[in-house]
């Protein structure tokens, strides 16, 4: 699986696939190409001799969220174009969430915006104590739309509402308290903690694990086509606002948006 440009996939002799978001110059932000490659991986991985998948980011950074250049393009796009790109993101998340293989998140550095969505589609996420998390969409005049079903499923509404709207940055220990991560460990212990999550799957029948995962999803919060379509509409709507235009422009121009310039 070496045909990819923005993800890196290696499979060891045990059948453990290391899936690495691999665009470190952009802090492994989710570009259109990366989304397409992740969707393809989710389709191809079950056909391989894979027992478990470990999701990480290159150069000590998990994922900075959506690629800002990609998001800026949506501000200028028409409604059909916005919906197409929102669906690209939504379908990538759906494909990974429904992949019939255990997916373990290895979270270090930062997990912002869509990066939290990527953590939430993992079956279990292990973070470092000092990892930085944030649902930072509202800083940009956006909302955490297509990731929201997975965030709510992982954290629950009560915990999610503590961080869903305020763009506050929090660390790995708070991510555990909120239910986003299963454990927080020292950087030097991260690999061992991830390996402890992988190890049980090496002794289990892969197809049975996949069926058990599908059952858990069926009994959990419903993330069906209607829910996903509603989040696509919400994201397309938000890209059409003046707040989104100003927020993304301000970020790219390295200035404060107008709403952050007011005296409190």
7-206 CATH pick, 3.40.50.12780, 3.90.226.10, 3.40.50.10260, 3.40.640.10: 3.90.226.10
- What pLDDT does residue 37 have? 98
- What pLDDT does residue 1 have? 64
Average pLDDT by stretches of 10, the chain with 264 residues: 91 98 97 98 97 98 96 94 97 98 98 98 98 97 98 98 98 98 98 98 98 97 97 96 95 93 61
Structure token pair of residue 260? 């952050």
The CA distance from 94 to 75, in Å, is 24
- Classified as helix, coil or strand, 20 is strand
Which pTM value belongs to this model?
Answer: 0.96
Q: DSSP character for 138?
A: G
Residue-range domain boundaries for the chain = 7-206
Which residue's entry shows tokens 């509409």?
Answer: 233
110 and 57 Cβ atoms separated by less than 8 Å: no
Check residue 146 and give left, alpha or beta (phi > 0: left; psi -120 to 50: alpha): alpha
The CA distance from 22 to 185, in Å, is 23
- What pLDDT does residue 261 have? 78
């Amino acid at each position: 699986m070496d045909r990819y440009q923005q993800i890196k996939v290696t499979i060891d002799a045990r059948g453990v696939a290391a899936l690495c978001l691999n665009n470190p110059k952009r802090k492994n932000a989710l570009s259109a190409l990366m989304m397409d490659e992740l969707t393809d991986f989710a389709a191809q991985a079950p056909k391989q001799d894979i027992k478990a998948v470990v999701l990480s980011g290159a150069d000590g950074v998990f994922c900075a969220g959506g690629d800002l250049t990609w998001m800026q393009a949506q501000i200028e796009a028409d409604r059909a174009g916005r919906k197409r790109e929102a669906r690209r993101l939504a379908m990538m998340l759906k494909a990974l969430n429904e992949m019939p293989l255990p997916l373990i998140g290895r979270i270090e550095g930062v997990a912002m915006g869509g990066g939290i969505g990527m953590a939430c589609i993992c079956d279990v996420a292990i973070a470092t104590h000092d990892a930085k998390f944030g649902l930072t969409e509202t800083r940009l005049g956006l909302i955490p739309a297509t990731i929201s079903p997975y965030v709510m499923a992982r954290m629950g509404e009560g915990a999610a509402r503590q961080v869903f709207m305020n763009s506050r940055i929090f660390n790995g220990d708070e991510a555990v308290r909120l239910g986003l991560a299963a454990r927080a460990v020292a950087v030097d212990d991260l690999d061992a903690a991830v390996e402890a999550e992988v190890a049980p799957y090496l002794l289990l029948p892969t197809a049975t694990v996949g069926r058990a995962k599908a059952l858990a999803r069926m009994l959990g919060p419903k993330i069906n086509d209607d829910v996903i379509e509603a989040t696509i509409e919400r994201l397309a709507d938000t890209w059409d606002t003046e707040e989104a235009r100003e927020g993304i422009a301000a970020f790219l121009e390295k200035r404060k948006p107008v709403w952050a310039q007011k005296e409190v």
